Structure 1
Amino acid sequence: MPNFENISPHPVVRQLLSSAMTSELSSASTNVAVVSLLVKVLNREILRNLQKVVRLRRARLRKDVDTLRHILGVQKFDVGIVCVDNHRIQQINNTYRKKNFPTDVLSFPFHEDLRPGKLPCPLYRDELNLGDIFLGVEFVMKQCQEESFDLHDALTVVTAHGICHLLGYRHETEEEWTEMLQRENYILSEYNRLTGRHLQPLMKKCDHSR
């Protein structure tokens, strides 16, 4: 069970998190709302690991997320990154998308009507928030094992995909997918230039199940 004592100095947030994760009646919608509230209260990026199936190098993932935010010029915006197992990502996927299976990444934008490529123009400090990304790390690990791919490289790639969704990109049509893929290619090419790595988008064609 995650220990929320060290996440936030705000006792109400700690109580909400603990209740959401320990209650037998806890739902995916409750967990998403609570994590979003945590981001808003803290006014910063958070990276939380709420699963025990896969060992994560959180310092590396956090550094990679910071690099992605730098590339996109969104350092001043809050974003939540939450790592979960197959059960929880399936629960959230079913609740919000009516797709009852696990997946690699789910994004919940704070600004839902953004045009792709346009940054939010917040009027207030608490609107400096891009939203939350849930990483299905157990699902991603299985894909990596099947394709002999490094887990943390894959998590960086799917996080870039998730951030694109927070910034208004979609892939419901071939045209939207092409636009999003072009943006992901740019992000990862800049990431590779800065880090010396060789990451590429994991998917090369439109897939409506994502």
Structure 2
Amino acid sequence: MQRVVRVNKAQLNNYANMIVSCAGYQDYDVGLIMVQDKEIQLMNQQYRGKDEVTDVLAFPYHEILPENAGLLPEVHPEERILGDVVLGMPYIASDCFKRAEDVQTTLLSIFTHGLCHLVGFNHESQDEWMQMYKKELNILEKFNKLTGCQCKPLLGLGH
């Protein structure tokens, strides 16, 4: 049985836009989609070959090679789309409950992680992990300074 996850959607949307700006990607669109466990498990199976529930999936609009992570392609203004970040809400809420963490704050960290994936960052190797961690930390430090939030990089949470 899945329980209802209550979030302040207006605040989440506002904060997600602020995170995109803190990352320097304010001229690009990013989709934020919240789904049930069954949906994210199906997507994870279909696109990553992993038949399991997860917290976040990122679907980039542009292919950005790992060596160019963070560098956005020069595209027509109508193509200034980074992609979609999909959040598995019940999974995230359950994990937050186990760790005694605030769901709203954790969603922002997870969104930032997904955003980094949209622009080519990954964590397959130690070097990639460190590069992605630094990017997430940089974004969230700027965001926390603006908002007073206390978000931490997802990779620092054992991801």
TM-score, with structure 1 as normaliser = 0.70
Show CA shifts across 1:4-51 (max 9, x none). Answer: xxxxxxxxxxxxxxxxxxxxxxxxxxxxxxxxxxxxxxxxxxxxxxx9
What is the aligned partner in structure 2 of residue 46 from structure 1? Answer: none
CA 1:205/1:172 → structure 2, altered by over 3 Å: closer, same or farther?
farther
- Structure 1: segments with no counterpart, 5+ residues: 1-50
What is the aligned partner in structure 2 of residue 85 from structure 1? Answer: 36
Between the aligned residues of both structures, percent identity stands at 38
Show CA shifts across 1:148-207 (max 9, x none). Answer: 100010000000000001111011111101100011111111111111121112333875
What CA distance in whole angstroms lies between the structure 2 residues aligned with 1:206 and 1:157? 12
AA at the equivalent of 1:92: M
**Contact persistence 1:173–1:206 (CA under 8 A):** no
**Contact persistence 1:71–1:191 (CA under 8 A):** yes
**Contact persistence 2:42–2:51 (CA under 8 A):** yes
CA 1:193/1:205 → structure 2, altered by over 3 Å: closer, same or farther?
closer
What CA distance in whole angstroms lies between the structure 2 residues aligned with 1:183 and 1:105? 17
**Contact persistence 2:5–2:90 (CA under 8 A):** yes
Matched length: 156
AA at the equivalent of 1:104: D
What CA distance in whole angstroms lies between the structure 2 residues aligned with 1:74 and 1:113? 14
Show CA shifts across 1:64-113 (max 9, x none). Answer: 10110111121221111100011100000000001111111000111112
2:70 counterpart SS class = coil
**RMSD across aligned positions (CA):** 1.8
Structure number with greater Rg is 1
What CA distance in whole angstroms lies between the structure 1 residues aligned with 2:8 and 2:109? 15
What is the aligned partner in structure 1 of residue 23 from structure 2? Answer: 72
- Higher RCO, 1 vs 2 (CA within 8 Å, ≥6 residues apart): 2
- Structure 2: segments with no counterpart, 5+ residues: none
What is the aligned partner in structure 2 of residue 144 from structure 1? Answer: 96
- Superposition misfits of 4+ residues, deviation over 6 angstroms: none
CA 1:59/1:138 → structure 2, altered by over 3 Å: closer, same or farther?
same
TM-score, with structure 2 as normaliser = 0.92
